[in-house]
Chain A
Amino acid sequence: MLNSAPIRLGLPTLVLLCVTVLFWTATTHAHRLLIMAWIQGDRLMVETAFGTGQIGANMTITVQDADSGEHILSGSTDEQGFFEAQLPATALERRAPLLVQATDGAGHLAGQTIAPDDYPMHQAPSSPSPPSPSVPSIPSVQDLPMDPTHLSHLIQQAVAETVRQEIAPLRREILALSQRGPGIPEIIGGIGWIVGLAGLGAMLLRCKPAKSSSSR
């Protein structure tokens, strides 16, 4: 016979696991890959996360024209699950609908289409600006030429960057909330389906010999 000691220890653990699994689902959710993409000025911003709330680091990002399928750009997310790249001027000019996809190479794929209406109304010029402008890099007012347009553009960039950084946690929350994880009703419903199917199978199997005996 078996050595019962490990079984006596392991069985309660297994039972506990099975009993408590229903209560875990509120925090576990699905591990679907989620994506949030938007255009800010002339730049494409992408953020990825898993339904579990984990950051989608090192995900491969591909961007293509949703209509023509033309490849526009690609790259990968950083350790914070964030990807940022300047959109080609041609795509900006024709306001192409963009299909942004993220994949981890292990079977998870998430996609989002940015419609022409989602382009910002007032696009910032795609002039050679620093890729990630930050507030401290803004020159002081004394150093600037007194060009109101340039000054306004710099202020806009600084404000946009600050807002982006401030709402980053909020965006991630929204991304995680956009996935509704399986709740207890769905789980119980699924088990109900299985029980029902088993009942149906039993009924069909019961009918088989009755048919064959009656035909004899």
Chain B
Amino acid sequence: MHITEGVLSAPVLALGAATTVTGLWLGLRRLEEDRLVMAAALAAAFFIGSLIHVPLGPSSVHLLLNGLAGLLLGWVAFPVIFVGLLLQALLFQFGGLLVLGVNTTAVALPAVLCGLVLRPLLLARGGRSALVAGMLAGSGAVLGTALLVALALALTDQGFLTAAKLVVLAHLPVAAIEGVMAAFVVGFLGQTRPDLLICALPAATEGGSPC
């Protein structure tokens, strides 16, 4: 989901940039050495995910895989998604550098929110509730991203309902696909590496979130 350069107004771009800088600061503060490999793997998955297109109507949409990053990494999803979008802008000319802040916020913020809300469900260590958390995070983050993109477009020059209709409806199939994919990944991790899911949970010692 990349808004092209030249579409949004300056205030919207500035708001997106400010949110992204804040998210990056929070994410980098929580990025610890033992999470680095998973963060890089999810950044690579997000980077490649945008190449899988789903032709839909006159346009085409692509996978995001942001829900999984938010669920497993929390605030660290911000730098992960920022790196993916930055490389896509530089290498493939998707989106652009000026609009990078808005695009990062649109993709990362819903992912982080889904992660913060749904991570307690991972306590079941790979049980059915973890699968539900994966599915909800996968589809919820995509729908949240579509809503934020619609909001950014609406703040610039058109009605929210028109933009939301165009963007959200186009991403309903992507939300369904990503929900299923995230549930599979969470289920697999629950069976093989439950420690990675536990790592995503709030730290027991400080009562806060290390992720």
A-to-B contact residues, CB < 8 Å? 1-4, 6-7, 10-11, 14, 17-18, 21, 24-25, 28, 30-33, 50, 52, 54-59, 103-111, 181-182, 186-187, 189-191, 193-195, 197-198, 201-202, 205-206
Contacts and interface: CB of A to CB of B under 8 A. Distances in A.
Nearest to B131: A2
16 contacts: A1-B127, A10-B184, A11-B188, A25-B51, A28-B53, A31-B61, A32-B93, A32-B94, A50-B60, A52-B53, A57-B58, A105-B163, A106-B166, A107-B149, A107-B167, A194-B87
B59 A54 contact: yes
Interface string B68-91: 000000000000000110011001
Contacts of A194: 40, 43-44, 47, 83-84, 87
B51 A28 contact: yes
Nearest to A105: B166
B166 A18 contact: no
Contacts of A1: 126-127, 190-191
A32 B4 contact: yes
Contacts of B180: 10
B158 A105 contact: yes
A198 to B, nearest CB: 4
Nearest to B45: A18
Interface of B: 1-7, 31-33, 36-37, 39-40, 43-45, 47-48, 51-53, 55, 58-62, 83-84, 87-88, 91-94, 126-128, 130-131, 149, 153, 158, 162-163, 166-167, 170, 180-181, 184-185, 187-188, 190-191
B91 A7 contact: no
B95 to A, nearest CB: 9
A14 B184 contact: yes
B126 A2 contact: yes
Nearest to A9: B184
A4 B59 contact: no
Contacts of A189: 91
Q: Is the interface of B mostly helix, strand, loop or mixed?
A: helix
A190 B53 contact: no
Contact of A31 (B40, B53, B166, B187): B53
A28 B52 contact: yes
Contact of A7 (B4, B43, B188): B188
Contact of B181 (A14, A24, A57): A14
Contact of A24 (B7, B43, B51, B130): B51
Contact of A205 (B3, B33, B47): B33
A58 B211 CA distance: 44
A17 B65 CA distance: 13
